[in-house]
Amino acid sequence: MKGSSSILTPFEAQIRDLRKQGVPLRKIAVLLNRKHGLSVTYNAVFSFLKTREKAEKHPSLFYENLPGDIRDSLIKQFTALWTYDSTGIEGNTLTLGETVKVLELGLTISGKPLKDHEEAYGHAKAVELIYDLIQKEKISADDLFNLHRCVMQKSPINSLRPIGDWKRDYNGTTGVRDGKPVYMEYARPDDTPKLMTRWIKEFNRKLRSAASATKAVNVYAWTHMSFVRIHPFFDGNGRIARLIANLPLLKCGYPPLLISPARRAEYIDLLWGYEDAVGIIKPDAPLLPLNPALAAFKTLLREEWRESLRLVETAKNQAAVR
């Protein structure tokens, strides 16, 4: 005999309609049995609704429904690429091939700094944490602190540069304006906790809004750009921005959007261009003011995302020909 879930699936709309009308579960079971010739119990209806509720809460992930070996290979590919790309943008010297050897085989690459190996391990651990966060409805400051501990796990202890807490000292970036170097500060340390409370609240609102490819890129852009405007940590902000900006995409069933080190200079120029245009962020100011500079950033993101989408399509094609 089929399980109760299989039996009741064709009548889901009717069951939900009856529940909206306030009909008790026991009476629903009686009505279904009488109308459709079933023999289900109150417990069967209760279990069916609970099962459907869990299914609705569980996100559909980009690697679901793939054979186990293809799925595992795809996840490893993304972890290696994500780590290589993001740490490479920050100056890590490991090649993609070396990154794979470090992460999958635990090898030490001769002639490469220990720091580069530790950054790779830490970032890969942070990627795992991002996948864990997919199941959470909301993120907290502690989740961001845990990500920071991953990417900065081997950094020296410094009271003004805490690991796993907001910055306590000023930080900034240097760019070029009218042919002259200009130093721009990020959010003040004293303003950072309040700004991040606002940022986390707004980010949680956007967690499930990447329902289309266009919206996915928009959510990534908002998350990334608003986060680096604040620069809430003394270091590691770029890596964390590129990690956390992917959480809404992953929760909506899309693969991560990765930015190649080959476009590092263009990427950094676009970040600077926006920050220079809108100025230093203030405690009660908009987190991401509208500015034409955002459009160019989104164009880069759309172009870079194509490789991730291609990898997923390749995996699906591999599975289809089996």
Could you give the residue numbers annotated as active site?
231
- One-character DSSP codes across 62-79: TTTTS-HHHHHHHHHHHH
Burial class of residue 58 in the structure, from the number of CB atoms within 10 Å of its CB (0-12 exposed, 13-18 middle, 19+ buried):
exposed
Return d(Cα 244, Cα 130) in angstroms, integer: 7
How many angstroms separate the most distant Cα atoms in the chain? Answer: 82
Beta strands in the chain (DSSP E): 172-177, 180-185
User: What is the DSSP code string of 170-195?
Assistant: --EEEEEETTEEEEEE-S-TTTHHHH
Distance, in Å, from the CA atom of 279 to the CA atom of 275, rounded to the nearest integer, reads 6
Q: How far is CA 127 from CA 19, 61, 124, 202, 204, in A?
A: 41, 15, 5, 22, 19
Cα–Cα distance between 258 and 305 in angstroms, integer?
A: 6
Length of the chain as a residue count: 322
* Cα angle value 25/26/30 (rounded, 5°): 115
